[in-house]
A and B are shown apart, each in its own frame.
Chain A
């Protein structure tokens, strides 16, 4: 899973999950329900659709609010998370998920202007 950190990870919404099966992605959504086992939870995206996130290690804390998950999309359309980070709502400006979804639409509509690639260094 370490390899995932060096690779470009397109930001997607639920509607695009099926197109990215087997590929690393970055998903931002609001935590909906955490499974009692702590190994999986659901998130909703800016358009209101739901996706499932599966974790390697069990959650050690209660998760809520908007979270950014990086991982691979499984065959079943769930995200196998390598890492996640919570966008805290108590600090700064609250994250506007709907606006984020709008922006994602633009990014995906014009891939020629928003290419997902690693910048060549050197």
Chain B
């Protein structure tokens, strides 16, 4: 069977190509031309779609008159030109065409093409027999598959358009006209029952929105056809009760595409809304439950660099955080993942809207854009313009109060605690270690045994054994060295207004606290004890921001909480003051 150029009809209709397309002639009709010359109108098929707006240029009239162009013959479209009429309709003028298989040699209609809709209202003929739920199956079927010979002038859709809000599982013959607001990428799975792939999208019309999923064959059929932002006529999908866990789409039902479904582009899209969002004010996020799916819009006040991290399943994934602020004056941190994180363009503090973001209680309140969220930058919606206006006038000067507790430079998520909280909240008692940040003052530093002799190799910090012959042995590297490097393990007691705590500080944090490096301290200890003591005196009673890790450890039947300082930073008084004021206000409101 001859292979037709699938997709050529669409390309020809859009004016984007179709040269040398192999098409099957479905129908040919003679029209009286104005100038006395007859004109021939043809309907061509590419196996996928039929299009009736083809006109034979007069120089090819002979082909029709010699009966070379009979229904079902297969031709190559060698030269053509697409004209756009006053009413926006496109007509393809065939300038040169060659019949490669005559009608007698072709068994019949190739494929099951459906009429390609150009979306022109005047061309749609509402067939009274095909309204929603009508039983005239036979007629519909014919219409969809074989264009009756008197057909060429109406490629339009074959049923009335109904609102998305009226879709339900009990009616199967409907057509909706909707805009795609979100399309996921193709996801594949492989389990004991086999493999498969799927994609999903969300579509919206004046009445509402609905989630649509396509599996396996439907992925092949529709995934590349559908573009976000464009409007399509969708018919004959199956409806079922929606699984609300993964979507913020407001509809009791969701749609699955099947073998009978069709998605046809629609040109006339001005009535269909661009997006249906129910934005939550950032200030209100505190009142929402964690794991809720919400829509938000705000000004992107700041954005961090993309980082890569490895998940538990050893997959590498990109991540980026940004801060959104809206008119409530509150800020929230949003995390983007994967391609969205990498592609995000943050210049000039754009308005960012996210539909279907997941609310988490990480760091207080924060948002994450999951694979089913849609991220829009500077969307063309009224809320965006309102925000832009507000931001330019007053918002830009505001610092905003963050719902996500982020330390100083906006790095990792922090967890501010007082030292008594560590005990009362039993931090570190779980399976995993707990991390928290606190501001505390050093009240005691143990200078005895704060230094140890370590392997001089770059990567190795293991304690070396003194061989007493001038050599030092490292068991890990299995080598002997004539030297060693000093490293610090500092035991300290830190305190705040609530409680105190014993912590261990390793090299970097210890050096930061003492203000000297380990090698110098080692030297002082051996040579100048007074100076060595002085270093510790000076370091005492300084206040820092400590980021600590705490874990319950069992040693010889005894369980104790061990706290290790991961990082020490000087106190950022501004940040601290802001946090204190925020906490005071929160307490006052209770």
The judgment on whether A and B are partners is yes
Q: Is the interface of A mostly helix, strand, loop or mixed?
A: helix
A62 within 8 A of B: no
Contact A93 B581 (CB under 8 A): no
**On chain A, which size bracket covers the interface?**
under 10
Q: Which residue of B lies closest to A96 (CB)?
A: B574
Q: How far is the CB of A108 from chain B (nearest CB, A)?
A: 12
How far, in angstroms, from A99 to B573 measured CA to CA in the complex?
Answer: 11
Chain A residue numbers with a CB within 8 Å of B574 are 93, 96, 99
Contact B584 A106 (CB under 8 A): yes
**On chain B, which size bracket covers the interface?**
under 10
Contact B573 A102 (CB under 8 A): no
Q: Mark B568-583, 1 if CB is under 8 A from A, else 0.
A: 0000011001100100
Question: A residues 77-110 with Cβ under 8 Å of B?
Answer: 93, 96, 99, 102-103, 106, 109-110
How far, in angstroms, from A23 to B207 measured CA to CA in the complex?
Answer: 67
Contact B573 A93 (CB under 8 A): yes
Q: How far is the CB of A111 from chain B (nearest CB, A)?
A: 13
How far, in angstroms, from A57 to B577 measured CA to CA in the complex?
Answer: 36
Chain A residue numbers with a CB within 8 Å of B585 are 106
Chain B residue numbers with a CB within 8 Å of A110 are 584, 588
Q: How far is the CB of B570 from chain A (nearest CB, A)?
A: 10
How far, in angstroms, from A112 to B72 measured CA to CA in the complex?
Answer: 94
Contact B577 A103 (CB under 8 A): yes
Q: Which residue of A lies closest to B574 (CB)?
A: A96
Most interface-central of B573, B584, B585 (chain A CB within 10 A)? B584
Contact B573 A106 (CB under 8 A): no
Q: How far is the CB of A110 from chain B (nearest CB, A)?
A: 8
Q: How far is the CB of B101 from chain A (nearest CB, A)?
A: 81
How far, in angstroms, from A103 to B588 measured CA to CA in the complex?
Answer: 14
How far, in angstroms, from A26 to B584 measured CA to CA in the complex?
Answer: 23
Chain B residue numbers with a CB within 8 Å of A93 are 573-574
How far, in angstroms, from A106 to B580 measured CA to CA in the complex?
Answer: 10
Q: How far is the CB of A71 from chain B (nearest CB, A)?
A: 25
Q: How far is the CB of A91 from chain B (nearest CB, A)?
A: 14
Chain B residue numbers with a CB within 8 Å of A102 are 577-578, 581
Q: How far is the CB of B300 from chain A (nearest CB, A)?
A: 23
How far, in angstroms, from A102 to B577 measured CA to CA in the complex?
Answer: 9
Q: CB < 8 Å: which of B578, B584, B588 contacts A99?
A: B578
Chain A residue numbers with a CB within 8 Å of B584 are 106, 110
Question: A residues 39-73 with Cβ under 8 Å of B?
Answer: none
Question: B residues 230-273 with Cβ under 8 Å of A?
Answer: none
Question: B residues 539-590 with Cβ under 8 Å of A?
Answer: 573-574, 577-578, 581, 584-585, 588
How far, in angstroms, from A106 to B585 measured CA to CA in the complex?
Answer: 8
Chain A residue numbers with a CB within 8 Å of B578 are 99, 102
Contact A103 B573 (CB under 8 A): no
Chain B residue numbers with a CB within 8 Å of A96 are 574, 577
How far, in angstroms, from A80 to B126 measured CA to CA in the complex?
Answer: 87
How far, in angstroms, from A106 to B586 measured CA to CA in the complex?
Answer: 12
Q: Which residue of B lies closest to A105 (CB)?
A: B581
Q: How far is the CB of A92 from chain B (nearest CB, A)?
A: 10
Chain B residue numbers with a CB within 8 Å of A106 are 581, 584-585
Q: How far is the CB of A17 from chain B (nearest CB, A)?
A: 23
How far, in angstroms, from A106 to B578 measured CA to CA in the complex?
Answer: 11
How far, in angstroms, from A12 to B574 measured CA to CA in the complex?
Answer: 19
Q: Which residue of B lies closest to A98 (CB)?
A: B399
Q: Which residue of A lies closest to B573 (CB)?
A: A93
How far, in angstroms, from A93 to B577 measured CA to CA in the complex?
Answer: 14
Q: Which residue of A lies closest to B584 (CB)?
A: A106
Chain B residue numbers with a CB within 8 Å of A103 are 577, 581
How far, in angstroms, from A110 to B581 measured CA to CA in the complex?
Answer: 12
Chain B residue numbers with a CB within 8 Å of A99 are 574, 577-578, 581
Chain A residue numbers with a CB within 8 Å of B581 are 99, 102-103, 106
Q: Which residue of A lies closest to B397 (CB)?
A: A98
Q: Which residue of A lies closest to B581 (CB)?
A: A102
How far, in angstroms, from A83 to B355 measured CA to CA in the complex?
Answer: 58
Q: How far is the CB of A46 from chain B (nearest CB, A)?
A: 12
Q: Which residue of B lies closest to A95 (CB)?
A: B574
Q: What 16 additional pairs, Cβ within 8 angstroms, besides A93-B573, A96-B574, A96-B577?
A: A93-B574, A99-B574, A99-B577, A99-B578, A99-B581, A102-B577, A102-B578, A102-B581, A103-B577, A103-B581, A106-B581, A106-B584, A106-B585, A109-B588, A110-B584, A110-B588
Question: Can you give 12 contacting A-B residue pairs, CB < 8 Å?
Answer: A93-B573, A96-B577, A99-B574, A102-B577, A102-B581, A103-B577, A103-B581, A106-B581, A106-B584, A106-B585, A109-B588, A110-B584
Across the A-B interface, the 7 shortest Cβ-Cβ residue pairs: A102-B581, A106-B584, A99-B577, A96-B574, A106-B581, A99-B574, A103-B577
Which residues of A are in contact with B by a Cβ distance under 8 Å? Answer: 93, 96, 99, 102-103, 106, 109-110
